[in-house]
């Protein structure tokens, strides 16, 4: 639930930034992802200190979920960036004729 909510917030922020200034969308993705990673590390810190066998499973689960949602965020961001690139190419080709 946390990762889904955090990813949703990141995507909303990126869409707002894309509308205001497309040129910084990639940098905004890096910054928001870094902030999310630091926040997740702070949440994971108590698990990292624990040594029990059950906590190993929890650590793996946390890491796998983080990577899955990071991949989803990256895919959505790539689509946002490519969408504008395709529109720019179409406009450039139509202007050449």
pTM of the model: 0.70
Per-residue pLDDT reduced to its tens digit, 22-31 = 888 889 989 9
Integer angstrom CA distances of residue 62 from 2, 65, 81: 11, 5, 28
Q: In whole angstroms, what is the distance from residue 23 CA to residue 20 CA? A: 9
Please give the residue range of the domain that contains residue 76. Answer: 2-96
How many domains in the chain? 1
Per-residue pLDDT reduced to its tens digit, 49-72 = 777 777 778 888 888 988 998 899
- CB within 8 A of 74, min separation 6: which ones? 29
Decide: helix, strand or coil at residue 34: helix
């Amino acid at each position: 639930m946390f990762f889904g909510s955090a990813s949703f917030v990141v995507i909303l922020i990126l869409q707002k930034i894309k509308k205001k200034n497309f040129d910084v969308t990639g940098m905004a993705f890096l910054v928001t992802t870094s902030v999310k990673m630091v926040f997740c590390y702070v949440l994971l810190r108590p698990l990292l200190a624990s040594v029990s066998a059950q906590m190993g499973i929890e650590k793996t689960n946390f890491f796998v979920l983080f990577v899955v949602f990071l991949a989803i965020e990256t895919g959505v961001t790539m689509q946002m960036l490519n969408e504008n690139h395709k529109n720019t190419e179409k406009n450039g080709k139509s202007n050449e004729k």
